[in-house]
Amino acid sequence: MANIIILGAGVMGSALAVPLADRGHKVRLIGTHLDDDIIAAIRRHDIHPRLKVHLPDSVLPGSPDELAEAVGGAELLVLGVSSAGVDWAAGKLTSVLPPDVPIVMVTKGLAGDGETIQTLPEYLEKRLGATYRGDVCAIGGPSIASELAVRRPTCVTLAGRSGPAAHRLAEWFRTPYYHVWPDTNLVGVEVCAALKNLYALGVGMAAGMLESAPAVENESGMHNTAAALFAEAVWEMSYMVTALGGDPQAVWTLAGGGDLYVTCQAGRNSRMGRWLGKGMRYSEAKLRYMPEDVVEGAETALAIRASLSAMITRGELDRNSLPMLCAIVEAVCDDACRPIPLERFFAARGTERPNDFAAGLS
């Protein structure tokens, strides 16, 4: 069995320690500088304070100053930091990670440089530099950490550019309850994995719209609205995957529709969407109700805003094909209180309209 390091002791990185330990691997869970309380709690009684479960006895917790020693004999690094922590992780790993050790990312998000949009594996490879020769892969699909940590049946995709590497690493993770399918559509899987968080903000708005709507005599919900938001999100994800060079097949499987579905059921992104749907501005909702939460969908919107505007201006993306994406980005980045433009959903793509969104972002 393999010697595996997990960097990042948040819920998903820690939950992955369970199937890896059950598979018989030697697992070191190394926290970041933000995980000191988590690592201390695990050391005291083996209970992860956010997952509320005992991690397997064979999982060894460690602090950031133990990273260099831990990765020296590693055969795999699992990166479980937040999207905002990728730069920190790259800085720590550049000088200590052996150049051929593969990386599997569970971090979800996109990187923007003001001109183009990149997946996080692409961004991490550039940050690690030319001396790094390992495979950077990623896990995508519907995986709620608290369910995985108690061994609920879970199905995901492990994607990489190399088919043999993806097959080999998928086998390392696979257990009777953690079902892992290898894939070579890394861009498609990662674009879906990032955008489903952003689109979950939009789908979550239906709940807030319902709470703000006048009472009706039959007490009906807004499932019609939520379903339309979900369907538009799937269409737009397909458009974005294709535009960024991935295979849109990812949208119709675990990484796209599957992960979007589970993300819309609960979690930080859908909770934030509810506040936005009630007419609250993003800054107010974040400060009042979610000050300690990392809302990955909002972080993705902030990361890609300038690049999205530039790509629309250059004609590489069609603003009319992305009414929901543009509305969510505006709501977060401009702190705007605007409704989702349902009337623009499923319109003929490529029609001539002003690039008002790009102008507003410049």
Does the pLDDT of residue 336 top 80, yes or no?
A: yes
Confidence of residue 272 (pLDDT cuts 50, 70, 90): very high
For residues 171 and 282, membership in a common domain is answered with: no
**Distance between CA atoms of 174 and 235, rounded to whole angstroms?**
31
Task: Assess contact for 163 and 150: CB atoms under 8 A.
Answer: no
Catalytic one among 92, 108, 196, 286?
A: 196
Domain check: are 49 and 153 in the same one? yes
* 3-state secondary structure labels for all residues of 313-352: HCCCCCHHHCHHHHHHHHHHHCCCCCCCCHHHCCCCCCCC
Mean pLDDT, rounded, for 84-91 = 94
Indicate whether 175 and 222 sit together in one domain.
no
State mean pLDDT over 224-230.
Answer: 96
The answer to whether the beta carbons of residues 189 and 248 sit under 8 Å apart is: no
Question: What CA–CA distance (Å, rounded) separates 223 from 229?
Answer: 10
Q: How confident is the model at residue 298 (pLDDT cuts 50, 70, 90)?
A: very high
Q: Tell me, yes or no, whether 202 and 176 share the same domain.
A: no
pLDDT value, residue 352: 42
Catalytic residue check, 26: no
Please count the structural domains in the chain. 2
CATH number of the structural domain spanning residue 63? 3.40.50.720
* pLDDT at site 340: 86
User: The domain spanning residue 345 has which CATH number?
Assistant: 1.10.1040.10
Let me know whether 270 and 338 are in one domain: yes
Q: Which of 140, 155, 184 is the last residue of a domain?
A: 184
Of 184, 199, 217, which residue sits at a domain end? Answer: 184
Distance CA 85, CA 91 (A): 10
The predicted-structure confidence for 104-131, as pLDDT tens digits, reads as follows 999 999 999 999 999 999 999 999 999 9
Listed in sequence order, the residues at least 6 apart from 204 whose beta carbon sits closer than 8 Å to its beta carbon are 264, 269, 270, 271, 272, 273, 274, 276, 277
The mean pLDDT of the chain is 93
Distance CA 26, CA 191 (A): 31
Residue 68 pLDDT exceeds 80: yes
What is the pLDDT confidence band of residue 354, given thresholds at 50, 70 and 90? very low
Same domain, 200 and 75: no
Eight-class DSSP state of 125: H
| Range(s) of the domain holding residue 238 | 187-361
Give the strand pairing for 76-79 and 47-48. unpaired
Residues 98 and 124 in one domain: yes
Region at 30 (left for phi over 0; alpha for psi -120 to 50; beta for the rest): beta
Compute the average pLDDT of residues 179-202: 97
pLDDT in tens, 7-38: 999 999 999 999 999 999 999 999 999 999 99
DSSP 161-228: S-HHHHHHHHHHH--SSEEEEEES-HHHHHHHHHHHHHHHHHHHHHHHHHHHSPP-TT----HHHHHH
Same-domain check for residues 218 and 316: yes
Both 202 and 149 in one domain: the answer is: no
CB 83 within 8 A of CB 107: yes
Residue in the structure block whose two tokens are 């894939």: 183
Same domain as 126, residue 58: yes
- pLDDT at position 360 over 70: no
From 184, 216, 242, the end of a domain falls on 184
CB-CB neighbours of 233 under 10 Å: 27
* 196 and 345 co-located in one domain: yes
Tokens (6 digits) for 22: 């059950």
Answer yes or no: is pLDDT of 136 > 70: yes
- The alpha-helical segments, DSSP class H, found in 80-162 are 86-93, 120-128, 145-149
CA–CA separation, 5 vs 27, rounded Å?
6
Per-residue pLDDT reduced to its tens digit, 241-267: 999 999 999 999 999 999 999 999 978
